[in-house]
Amino acid sequence: MRKTIKNHSDFAVTPDDLSGMSSYFIVRAKYAKFPNDARYGLIVTKRTFKHAVDRNRAKRLLRDWIRFHNDMMLPNMDYIFVARAPILRATRDDGRTAMRKALHWIKKTYKNESEK
């Protein structure tokens, strides 16, 4: 399992970073600070989720989906997941499908970019 991003400055993204979307989350991938030690970070804001219970549920769901699709994540990339409000209505299977599609999109985009 990947480690988590702890440092605030490591969450910064640039327009050049790869991104994928779902109705439940947005995922941004950028080159890892430590290539052999890729990480992931979760952004679940108080602005979007007013109650701590909702923020914790969103993080729990994202972690489950990340764990399930860890093999699809590129080893030299850090991933940042931004939770969106509809995540609270997501089922486990719907979320896993959305995660698979988003990670596949990033992998495909990365492959096309590296061929250029």
Query: The pTM is what?
Result: 0.92
pLDDT bracket for residue 35 (50, 70, 90):
confident
CB-CB neighbours of 35 under 10 Å: 11
pLDDT tens-place string over residues 4-31: 998 888 888 888 899 999 999 999 999 8
Q: Which of the pair, 37 or 98, is modelled with greater confidence?
A: 98
Which domains can be identified in the chain, with CATH numbers?
3-108 (3.30.230.10)
pLDDT tens-place string over residues 75-87: 889 999 999 999 9
CA distances from 45 to 5, 57, 78, 87, 115 (A): 16, 12, 20, 13, 36
CB-CB neighbours of 9 under 10 Å: 7
Could you give the CA distance from residue 87 to residue 112 in angstroms, rounded to a whole number?
A: 30
